[in-house]
Chain A
Amino acid sequence: MKHIYPYIFLLCCLGFFSCDEKADGGFTIVTEEIVNVNGTRAIILGRILAFQNVAVQEHGFQFSLTADFSDPIEIKMGERSRPGNFVGETESLSLGKEYFVRGFAQTKSDLVFGNTLTLVTLKPSVERFFPITQFAGEIVTVFGRGFESTSEVFFGDTKAEVVDVEFGSQIRVRVPAKQGPNSIPLKVVTGSQTALAENLFRYPTGSYELLDIRLDLIRFRGNIYFQQGSKFFVGLGIDFRNNFYPEIYSFIPGESEWKPTNYPGLPKRKAVSTRTGFFGGGFQNLGISATYSSDFWKYENGEYRQITSPSFRFADAIGAEIAGNFLAIGGLLEVGSLVREYNPLLGNWNNLPNLPYDVTGDMLNFTYQNKLYIIDKEKILWEHDPITASAVAKTVYPSPFIKTVSDFGGLAIVKGDKAYIGMYNSVREFWELDLKTFEWSAKNPFPGEIKAENTAIFEHEGQLYFLRSLLFADYTEFWRFDPDGL
């Protein structure tokens, strides 16, 4: 009998340990992070934390407009056995609302919720559209946010054809025919909400007039041009038969012809020149080993005055007058980023910091508020401060370049706070650039003969005047352009 107690003890032990049951492992749900919210779409990251596999029959996320999750929108992601991350995505939220979101998991016996996060869906808005002027039938891209795939775009009251809606933030739309005023509001209707563009959409303007004052038997190439007051100057360079022009001609709007100005210097081509009357350098003759032409000039008070020549050679370089000083920049003969400044008061040349890139005279350039602007061969418009040597990329010329064909030969001029840029070789596009906002507006395309080279551009009383030497006729056309003409 006394041996029975160990057996009883063993039985109790076995009974105690045999009470273990196979049970679902404990786990925790974490609503980890709101990854992205855009329009009606939200992406949420959740995690199941556990030390072992879990038996989850359903898991996912709940979205609700109320903190008590009444009438929630559910993303269900099915069964799951392994702990770890899970990601939910919905595109059925309403625009401009605050939502509460939490992860959930349903086991055989329990419904487990994670912590609650909040998110706000974006209201639709139009950030900008490009281009801000466009021709009827062409494409405008509207940039913004919160655009549903069913968004509609209106130009004024006219519904436009939506080509596609991409990424909830870009709508490509075809401009409808003009049916009223030139400037009209642009709005996007998405869901039940309307987003209005801040700026008005404008149909392109600009009228061209071929003046009856042409330069017969003259076709310029590698020439200079400048303007003083209302007087235009163009000359030097060579003609299309490689003959040098020894003269500079002038014209005053209202007169009927271009008149010679009795330039006293030797002829030269590819001289560096400003739009204000400084010029010099260039070549005396033709060919790869052409001789440098070292004299420099300033036209003022009705006469040409020779100025000191720099110790560096400039040909096919960029010239600009900034703060009253003559800057000669880059070119073919010295380092292409070299900058030298002529001070007309002291009559001497100074070194300025180099540009951070090489330039040649065929790159479009203009000055505005003592800064130099250059469009490089990659179409980037650089703003350059020659004093601080800073260069900032401001915008990109919006028309395509055809390398070595249409990336040179264009025109650029400033009128007020607008720059007019374009008409590169073999193309008709002409653009207006707002120098405050750096937004481009298309102008009506040039209607004249395209087989011509631009030789000069001037501005007078709000109108632009430009010269184009024809390739297949022995004269130079003289055009007037009204930027606001219809």
Chain B
Amino acid sequence: MISTSKIRLSLFFLFLVCLGISCIEEYSFESQDPGRLLTIEGRITTQLKKHRIRLSRASQYGPDFNGLNRPESLATVLIRDDLGKTISLEEISPGVYETADFVSAEIGRSYNLEIITFIGGRYISLPETIVPVPKIDSLSYRSVRSATTNRLLSDVGVQVIAHFRDPGDIKNYYYWAGNESTYVLVTQPEDFTNPPTHPTCPRCPNPKPCCKICYRKEQPVVNIYASDDNEFNGLSQSRIIAYIPDDGLRFLDTYRYEGSNLSINERGNRFLKLVDQQISLTGSVFDPPPANIRGNVFSLDDANETVLGYFFASDEQPLQVYIKRENLEFVLTPSTKIPDDCRLSRNATLQPPADWNP
């Protein structure tokens, strides 16, 4: 028999527990709504090509989903130099504007980006003067393995390293950006099996005769590699300019890294450093506090309106290196298997790029 006093004691304890839990209330907050901020991404360089500017409206970040960033369409976009020359850009897809012709910027000239939105908002960038970029002499690469929070899994990837000499007489700022790259995609069509919904033989082996080898293009992995020459002014340098994580597919054969060696100014370097710092936040107590990252574009109607992004004007040296599997010390094991025709993979074709020359 349970005594009455014990029941009372239990009930009292339960009451205390309920009281404790019932004290927790949901803390609801509303983030400040800055409206959809205009965001600018793009650059003009000394390479003769069609240059692109991307315009979008940033969505609000908060507990509620407010939608994706929306492209800013139907804007008038111009690039002007300090001699009054104007280059107009055309919208080739929503929010993406491209110079109508192949054009190149000139070293020593200053460039402004000017935008008139469809509803009449006027924006202009601060003038960006192009300085020559110290040329990279050669590229090399090495595979690296690093520990992760999972003790059983290591992070494997390839670092691309640039070798160059920094001119000692002037202050230099560097920005190494990745471009669309290509790699040999190796799949296993001989291991193809029927889908589970197959009417007569689900999951039965059904090898395909083709195709095992394709060439796949991919957009660069988002990493920011920018530097000033504070630590190596006038010295020969070997700097990591890109890191390509091994996803089990990229380095099964040959990977062609393509990038650009770009000159930037102090303002651009500060912007990139801050962006890099902010996107590297891990949520730990040692993280730097959130920062207000100022770009170089502002509104002509209200100079205090926040405009995100940066318009770069740079001297550009195209970079390219073929990364071959046999030269890599580490690769991700086991590699990723695609038991199907490689042509069915996204952005994969049988034809190599016309200038493929590993």
Point out residues on A near B: beta carbons under 8 Å: 33-39, 43, 45, 82, 84-87, 89, 122, 127, 143-146, 166-170, 335-337, 353-358, 380, 389, 392-393, 396
**Minimum CB–CB distance for B255 against chain A, Å:** 19
- The answer to whether B354 touches A122 (Cβ under 8 A) is no
**Minimum CB–CB distance for B308 against chain A, Å:** 16
Query: A-B pairs with the 7 shortest C-beta distances?
Result: A145-B84, A337-B354, A85-B303, A169-B86, A87-B303, A356-B355, A167-B86
B344 within 8 A of A: no
Residues from chain A with a CB closer than 8 A to the CB of B102 are 380, 393, 396
Which residue from chain A places its CB closest to the CB of B102 in the assembled complex?
Answer: A393
- The answer to whether A35 touches B112 (Cβ under 8 A) is yes
What are 12 A-B contacts defined by CB distance under 8 Å?
A: A35-B112, A36-B114, A36-B124, A84-B303, A85-B298, A85-B303, A145-B83, A145-B84, A167-B78, A168-B84, A168-B86, A354-B354
Residues from chain B with a CB closer than 8 A to the CB of A336 are 354
Q: How far is the CA of A64 from the CA of B86 in the complex (A)?
A: 27
- Inter-chain residue pair count (beta carbon < 8 A): 77
Q: How far is the CA of A168 from the CA of B355 in the complex (A)?
A: 41
**Minimum CB–CB distance for A179 against chain B, Å:** 31
B126 within 8 A of A: yes
Cross-chain contact of B354 among A167, A357, A392 (Cβ < 8 A): A357
Residues from chain B with a CB closer than 8 A to the CB of A144 are 84
Residues from chain A with a CB closer than 8 A to the CB of B84 are 38-39, 122, 144-146, 168-169
Cross-chain contact of A127 among B85, B354, B357 (Cβ < 8 A): B85
- The answer to whether A358 touches B303 (Cβ under 8 A) is no
Which residue from chain A places its CB closest to the CB of B125 in the assembled complex?
Answer: A35
Grouping DSSP codes into helix (H, G, I), strand (E, B) and loop, the B interface class, with mixed when no group exceeds half, is loop
Residues from chain B with a CB closer than 8 A to the CB of A84 are 303-304
B300 within 8 A of A: yes
Cross-chain contact of A122 among B83, B300, B351 (Cβ < 8 A): B83
Residues from chain B with a CB closer than 8 A to the CB of A357 are 354
Q: How far is the CA of A170 from the CA of B88 in the complex (A)?
A: 10
Residues from chain A with a CB closer than 8 A to the CB of B325 are none
B41-65 vs A, Cβ < 8 Å mask (1 yes, 0 no): 0000000110000000000000000
B80 within 8 A of A: yes
Q: How far is the CA of A146 from the CA of B86 in the complex (A)?
A: 11
**Minimum CB–CB distance for A216 against chain B, Å:** 43
B127 within 8 A of A: yes
Residues from chain B with a CB closer than 8 A to the CB of A143 are 85-86
Residues from chain A with a CB closer than 8 A to the CB of B253 are none
Given that A169-B84, A393-B102 are known contacts, is A35 also in contact with B127, CB under 8 Å in the complex? Answer: yes
B101 within 8 A of A: yes
Q: How far is the CA of A335 from the CA of B357 in the complex (A)?
A: 13
**Minimum CB–CB distance for B211 against chain A, Å:** 16
- The answer to whether A85 touches B354 (Cβ under 8 A) is no
Q: How far is the CA of A168 from the CA of B88 in the complex (A)?
A: 12
- The answer to whether B355 touches A35 (Cβ under 8 A) is no
Residues from chain B with a CB closer than 8 A to the CB of A122 are 83-84
**Minimum CB–CB distance for B32 against chain A, Å:** 17
Residues from chain A with a CB closer than 8 A to the CB of B303 are 45, 84-87
**Minimum CB–CB distance for A76 against chain B, Å:** 15
Q: How far is the CA of A36 from the CA of B78 in the complex (A)?
A: 13
Residues from chain B with a CB closer than 8 A to the CB of A354 are 354-355, 357
Q: Apart from A38-B80, A84-B304, what are 12 other A-B pairs with CB-CB below 8 Å?
A: A35-B124, A35-B126, A45-B126, A82-B304, A127-B85, A143-B86, A167-B86, A168-B86, A336-B354, A354-B354, A389-B355, A393-B48
- The answer to whether B300 touches A169 (Cβ under 8 A) is no
Residues from chain A with a CB closer than 8 A to the CB of B112 are 35-36
Q: How far is the CA of A248 from the CA of B28 in the complex (A)?
A: 87
B297-336 vs A, Cβ < 8 Å mask (1 yes, 0 no): 0111001100000000000000000000000000000000
Residues from chain A with a CB closer than 8 A to the CB of B355 are 337, 354, 356, 389
Q: How far is the CA of A169 from the CA of B87 in the complex (A)?
A: 9
Residues from chain B with a CB closer than 8 A to the CB of A167 are 78, 80, 86, 88
Q: How far is the CA of A371 from the CA of B49 in the complex (A)?
A: 21
Cross-chain contact of B298 among A37, A45, A358 (Cβ < 8 A): A45
Q: How far is the CA of A89 from the CA of B112 in the complex (A)?
A: 15
Residues from chain A with a CB closer than 8 A to the CB of B304 are 82, 84-85
Cross-chain contact of A89 among B82, B300, B357 (Cβ < 8 A): B300
Residues from chain A with a CB closer than 8 A to the CB of B127 are 33-36
Q: How far is the CA of A36 from the CA of B129 in the complex (A)?
A: 12
Given that A36-B127, A337-B354, A392-B48 are known contacts, is A43 also in contact with B300, CB under 8 Å in the complex? Answer: yes
State which residues 70-89 of B face A: CB under 8 Å. Answer: 78, 80, 82-86, 88
Which residue from chain A places its CB closest to the CB of B76 in the assembled complex?
Answer: A167
Residues from chain A with a CB closer than 8 A to the CB of B49 are 393
**Minimum CB–CB distance for B113 against chain A, Å:** 10
Q: How far is the CA of A380 from the CA of B100 in the complex (A)?
A: 12
- The answer to whether B357 touches A353 (Cβ under 8 A) is yes
State which residues 284-302 of B face A: CB under 8 Å. Answer: 298-300
Q: How far is the CA of A353 from the CA of B49 in the complex (A)?
A: 22
**Minimum CB–CB distance for B260 against chain A, Å:** 17
Given that A85-B298, A85-B304, A167-B78 are known contacts, is A355 also in contact with B354, CB under 8 Å in the complex? Answer: yes
**Minimum CB–CB distance for B75 against chain A, Å:** 14
- The answer to whether B124 touches A43 (Cβ under 8 A) is yes
Residues from chain B with a CB closer than 8 A to the CB of A127 are 85
Q: How far is the CA of A389 from the CA of B357 in the complex (A)?
A: 12
